[in-house]
Structure 1
Amino acid sequence: MLKGVMFDFSGTLFRVESTAEWLDGVLADAGQVLGAAERAGLVRRLEWFGALPGGVAPSEVPAGLQELVDTRDLTPELHRAAYTGLTRAAELPDGVSAEHLYDRHMSPSAWAPYPDAGPTLRELRRRGIPVAVVSNIGWDLRPVFREHGLDPLVDAYLLSYELGAQKPDPRIFLAGCEALGLAPQDVLMVGDHLEADGGATALGCAFHQVPHLPVAERPAALSPLLDLLPS
């Protein structure tokens, strides 16, 4: 019987703002205005290279960046270097900084919970089912949960950059199960990525996949997992 749940972060419980919103926030902070055509072109280039962490996946990784991208979630330094590299590949105009863009994506205000994230976590807490967040990430996401009032509903955070292992490495899932005090066969992993998050099945965990969509387009993908858990 399932007794605990591990959740992915980005694309599962939360979604980062759109690339356009991300860029506009930085432009506003810098007091800079781009013409409509220039702004639209820059948004397209940023999305082409997957420059926004948690946003659109890259269509192209520039030469020399692939290894960095593949290992980006192992340390904060690798994560920053990978994403600022992808951002610079988009050919930023004068006055728009890759470092400023990177820093913005770590702000709690850049992230929004999916509509059913809070209700689902609260129901799990009511049932006495422990919860861990297991994320491939290069920075501390705990302030995002605190800002949105969800931190009290999470029992443990297993972050790749703190563990030195990234999904689908079984070590990160095993650490999650151990933090919950449960055997893998008693734990459900919930995530949007079949390969990375679904890697938990190698340990014997169950897996529930959700689609990685903008918040407004995914109102109730988490709620069905409650039917898989004891009431």
Structure 2
Amino acid sequence: MKAVLFDFSGTLFRIESAESWLRAVLEAAGVALPASELADKARALETAGALPGGASPVRLPAGVAEVWRVRDESAELHRAAYTGLSRQVPLPDPALYDALYERHRIPAAWAPYPDALDVLSGLRERGLRVGVVSNIGWDLRPVFREHGLDRYVDAYALSYEHGFQKPDPRLFTVACEALDADPGGTLMVGDDRRADGGAAALGCAVHFVDHLPAAERPDALRTVLDLVG
């Protein structure tokens, strides 16, 4: 292997819990809810799939279903999809829906998996080039910079910047070309078997990890170092 591509959410980083997400936004807005009501609202938002990087929607409302399918193809579609889902849950102030969306885009809302630093630095030490290939509607580079991981990433291929999303092979092609890497010598690591598995169409090897809370997945990425030899 000469290069490794990584997915972002659920692979290298994990979003905060729905309750932490909602609490932070309510506190910033000066809105107080009883603890039990806050917990209920957080569970409802999670069921709705309103937290990007969190659980998928249990049910897609008719007005959101179409935009959900292509949500990662532009910043506008991404915002529309997730604020549309969050609006299924009644909140005290309509401004909170946009505030929730803005909250998930800041570095403080994300944490790298415990082994991410060691694995990325290990790949750099071995001379492998690293790319991040993400279905997303906003610039995640500041998240990597804030957490000290940007120095280990050589290229980013973000769906909203190109107008197509995984599993479309074109997004993986963008990443491989940016790394000057032959797909046959490239490993794609992700948590979504359909989206990330699209790299196989180019001839990339593919390895999957489970999308779990960080505390439940302390060392799954370390297998990557064994796979690249």
Q: With structure 2 as the length reference, what TM-score do the two structures score?
A: 0.98
The residue that corresponds to 2:205 in the other structure is: 206
The residue that corresponds to 2:159 in the other structure is: 160
Shift in CA distance, 96/38, structure 1 to aligned 2, threshold 3 Å: farther
* 2:79–2:101 Cα contact (<8 Å) kept: yes
Letter of the structure 1 residue corresponding to residue 100 of structure 2: L
Per the TM alignment, residue 217 of structure 1 is displaced from its structure 2 partner at its CA by 0.8
Distance (Å, rounded) in 2 between the aligned partners of 1:185 and 1:93: 53
Per the TM alignment, residue 95 of structure 1 is displaced from its structure 2 partner at its CA by 6.4
Give runs of aligned pairs for residues 15-94 of structure 1, distance below 5 A. Answer: 15-94=14-93
Per the TM alignment, residue 36 of structure 1 is displaced from its structure 2 partner at its CA by 2.4
Cα RMSD, aligned residues only: 1.0
Letter of the structure 1 residue corresponding to residue 190 of structure 2: G
Equivalences, count? 229
Distance (Å, rounded) in 1 between the aligned partners of 2:96 and 2:84: 11
Distance (Å, rounded) in 2 between the aligned partners of 1:156 and 1:115: 22
Per the TM alignment, residue 188 of structure 1 is displaced from its structure 2 partner at its CA by 0.2
Distance (Å, rounded) in 1 between the aligned partners of 2:206 and 2:65: 28
Distance (Å, rounded) in 2 between the aligned partners of 1:40 and 1:95: 19
Q: SS of the residue aligned with 2:11?
A: coil
Shift in CA distance, 62/225, structure 1 to aligned 2, threshold 3 Å: same
Letter of the structure 1 residue corresponding to residue 61 of structure 2: P
Q: With structure 1 as the length reference, what TM-score do the two structures score?
A: 0.97
Distance (Å, rounded) in 2 between the aligned partners of 1:142 and 1:179: 16
Runs of 4+ aligned structure 1 residues displaced above 4 Å come to: none
State which drifts further: 38-47 or 72-81.
38-47
Per the TM alignment, residue 176 of structure 1 is displaced from its structure 2 partner at its CA by 1.0
1:178-210: CA deviations, max 9, x gaps?
Answer: 111111111000000000001111111000100
Distance (Å, rounded) in 1 between the aligned partners of 2:138 and 2:155: 16
The residue that corresponds to 1:197 in the other structure is: 196
Where does structure 1 lack aligned partners over 5 or more consecutive residues?
A: none
Distance (Å, rounded) in 2 between the aligned partners of 1:92 and 1:63: 21
Per the TM alignment, residue 37 of structure 1 is displaced from its structure 2 partner at its CA by 2.6
Q: SS of the residue aligned with 1:64?
A: helix
Q: SS of the residue aligned with 1:144?
A: helix
Per the TM alignment, residue 48 of structure 1 is displaced from its structure 2 partner at its CA by 1.1
Letter of the structure 1 residue corresponding to residue 78 of structure 2: H
The residue that corresponds to 2:225 in the other structure is: 226
Distance (Å, rounded) in 2 between the aligned partners of 1:116 and 1:152: 16
Q: SS of the residue aligned with 2:219?
A: coil
Distance (Å, rounded) in 2 between the aligned partners of 1:49 and 1:37: 18
Distance (Å, rounded) in 2 between the aligned partners of 1:56 and 1:33: 25
Letter of the structure 1 residue corresponding to residue 98 of structure 2: E
* 2:19–2:43 Cα contact (<8 Å) kept: no
Per the TM alignment, residue 150 of structure 1 is displaced from its structure 2 partner at its CA by 0.5
Per the TM alignment, residue 220 of structure 1 is displaced from its structure 2 partner at its CA by 0.4
Q: Percent identity?
A: 62
Per the TM alignment, residue 136 of structure 1 is displaced from its structure 2 partner at its CA by 0.2
Per the TM alignment, residue 93 of structure 1 is displaced from its structure 2 partner at its CA by 2.4
The residue that corresponds to 1:142 in the other structure is: 141
Distance (Å, rounded) in 1 between the aligned partners of 2:102 and 2:172: 28
The residue that corresponds to 1:187 in the other structure is: 186
Where does structure 2 lack aligned partners over 5 or more consecutive residues?
A: none
The residue that corresponds to 1:169 in the other structure is: 168
